[in-house]
Amino acid sequence: MRDAAYNIKKQIGHFLAPKVRLIIENLPDELLEKTEEIRLRHSRPLIIFWAGGESYLSEKGPVPTPREAYLTDGEDLEKTLDLLSNYSLYAYEEELRQGYLTIPGGHRVGLAGRAVLEGGRIKVLRDISSLNFRVARQVKGVGEKVLAFIFDRRMGRIMHSLIISPPQGGKTTLLRDLARLISEGTGILGQAGKKVGIVDERSEIAGCYQGIPQLDVGFRTDVLDACPKAEGVMLMLRSLSPQVIITDEIGRGEDVNAIEEAIHAGVSVIASAHGSSLEEICQRPILGGLLLKNYFERLIFLSNSRGPGTLEMIIEGERGLPLYSSRQGGE
């Protein structure tokens, strides 16, 4: 059995209500191999999604129309939630507030339901009516090409880099692989790996379950899971002496301040941000301000044009010189 299919059946299947689990387990491996999401919605058809497509599922397997599909009911959702929370939703208050939880294997389960507010902010989600199982995939080796551009051979250091792409563009996958490569040391680094600190606010990079990384982020890597970026970066600097700090989706003022602190402390920073072009990023008040200060030495652009994680362009931060373009294919 292939990796992803095995993971879905064993790791995700373990948390599904029996009826849904049976349907998923009976799917052909070829279909599971490309599955990215499994969607359970109250009184709605059971659907799986993959890049560029979706399948409605019934007890007999994939069916062409939603009418023939298995309708997920309240009991399926109740049982799945019981299994996900080990019958203890009260112990997952923070996850219910954030709207997701992580399961072994680093897979994430998105939740939707009725939001209970306190002081205008979400306090907790109740009456959960939708569950979205997002299959975690580690693509080893995707960072090798980028690493060659962000490693300063002369100084033996990693350059401050910002990875920019639209949602689902492969930022997190690239960050994870860069963490692994830098932590373990590769031929390109030509030396032992470096101490890496990951501030993983949404548990996406390392896919931690109960604080333990479920995905390979290297053996010299420390992960601060579910920790706000600003606080996490400062904590890393104070107590874990990282040489490289990796974090995702920066955008708030306090994130930027913490990143400035790290850069001034001599720690290399690799971060990611949503966006599709340099112009768009520059127009954003906080992120644009950070770019104007020329802290980032490398800007890496990804897209979905030839599948998630397509490396479009790498430019030199200060002067804006293109170092790599997918059209030219090299430096």
Partner 1 sequence: MYLKFWGASLIILAAYFFGHNISSMYRNRVCQLEELLLGLEMFLTEITYGLTPLPQAFINIGKKLKDPVGRLFSDTAWIMQKSRGLSARECWKKALKNNSGALEFFGGGLELLDRLGFIWGKGDKSGQLRQIALMQELLRQAHREAQQDYQKNEKMWKYLGLLGGLTLVIFLI
Q: Is 90 in the site for partner 1 (CB under 8 A)?
A: yes
Which DSSP category does 15 fall into? G
Task: Render the burial of 216-235: b for 16+ CB within 10 Å, e for the rest.
Answer: bbbebbbbbbbbbbbebbbb
Q: Is 9 in the site for partner 1 (CB under 8 A)?
A: no
| Order of strands across the sheet that contains 61-63 | 61-63, 53-58, 47-50, 35-41, 121-134, 107-118, 100-103
Residue whose entry in the numeric block shows the structure tokens 């860069």: 178
Q: Is 10 in the site for partner 1 (CB under 8 A)?
A: no
Q: How far is the CB of 210 from partner 1 (least distance, A)?
A: 11
Q: Which of residues 93-152 bind partner 1 (CB under 8 A)?
A: 93, 96, 123-124, 126
Q: Which helix (H) or strand (E) holds 35?
A: strand 35-41
Q: Which of 63, 71, 89, 115 binds partner 1 (CB under 8 A)?
A: 89
Q: Is 91 in the site for partner 1 (CB under 8 A)?
A: yes
- Tokens linked to 258: 């913490």
What is the C-alpha separation between 253 and 233, in angstroms, rounded?
14
Q: How far is the CB of 75 from partner 1 (least distance, A)?
A: 7
Q: Is 21 in the site for partner 1 (CB under 8 A)?
A: yes
Nearest to 295 by CA among 328, 256, 255, 322: 256
Q: Which of 25, 59, 75, 331 binds partner 1 (CB under 8 A)?
A: 75
Q: How far is the CB of 163 from partner 1 (least distance, A)?
A: 35
14 vs 67, beta carbon nearer partner 1: 14
Number of amino acids touching partner 1 (CB under 8 A): 21
Task: Note the residues at the interface with partner 1 (CB under 8 A).
Answer: 14, 17-18, 21, 75, 78-79, 82-83, 85-91, 93, 96, 123-124, 126
